Amino acid sequence: MANRRKTDMTKRMMAFLVCLACVFAVYLLSTGLPHKEETTSKGAKFTVPDRPVDTAESERIYQSMCIACHGDQLQGAVGPELAHIGGTMTKEQLFKKISSGGGGMPAFQSRLTEDELVTIVTWLASHQ
Ligand code: HEC
């Protein structure tokens, strides 16, 4: 009888450890992956330089390249709404999405200079 109880305890301990491992795995996934995304192909940490928002220049770029898919009020059309994108994406994630595209979004790295990319990223990041 005492032996049987001991086996139950072991089972419970095992179940607890498995749960703990799962929680840890989810934690690693949620914190580890975005970091990976923000590193360059060379593995160096990539950061978008801090700049004041240049609304006029950003609107010029937006109107000529983004408006057709994201709407005149950033409300979205073919592409998703961007009016509050600064609250959900970091500047690094924005830079990567706009320069590399993907999922129906065109890549702009050959159509915009790095300077223009930083300008539009800074402007979008201010839309929270
Ligand atoms: C041909 C249509 C098209 C054009 C032009 C376009 N986009 Fe997009 N964009 C999309 C689509 C479609 C997605 C969704 C991609 C996905 O789900 O991965 C998207 C996604 C995005 C996202 C990520 C939004 C999110 O919620 O995940 C950002 C930021 C973005 N676009 C910015 C821009 C900017 C800035 C420009 C102009 C320089 C631009 N887009 C031009 C179609 C377009």
Question: Are 64 and 118 within one domain?
Answer: yes
Question: Are 66 and 102 within one domain?
Answer: yes
Question: Are 71 and 21 within one domain?
Answer: no
Closest ligand 1 atom number to CA of residue 61:
38
| Domain-embedded: residue 19 | yes
pTM score, two decimals?
0.75
CATH of the domain at 102: 1.10.760.10
Task: Output the six-digit token pair for 44.
Answer: 């160096």
| Domain-embedded: residue 90 | yes
pLDDT, tens digit (0-9, with 9 covering 90-100), for 111-127: 999 999 999 999 999 99
pLDDT, tens digit (0-9, with 9 covering 90-100), for 63-88: 999 999 999 999 999 999 999 999 99
Question: Are 30 and 70 within one domain?
Answer: no
Torsion of Cα atoms, 117 then 102 then 29 then 89, to 10°: 40
**74, 127 Cβ separation under 8 angstroms:** yes
> What pLDDT is recorded for position 93?
96
Which of 69, 72, 95, 126 to probe ligand 1 with, by most ligand atoms within 8 A of CB? 69
> What pLDDT is recorded for position 74?
98
**76, 68 Cβ separation under 8 angstroms:** no
Count: domains in the chain: 2
Residues with CB under 6 A from ligand 1: 65-66, 68-70, 78-80, 82, 85, 94, 97-98, 102-106, 108, 120, 124
CA-CA-CA-CA torsion sign (86, 35, 30, 98): positive
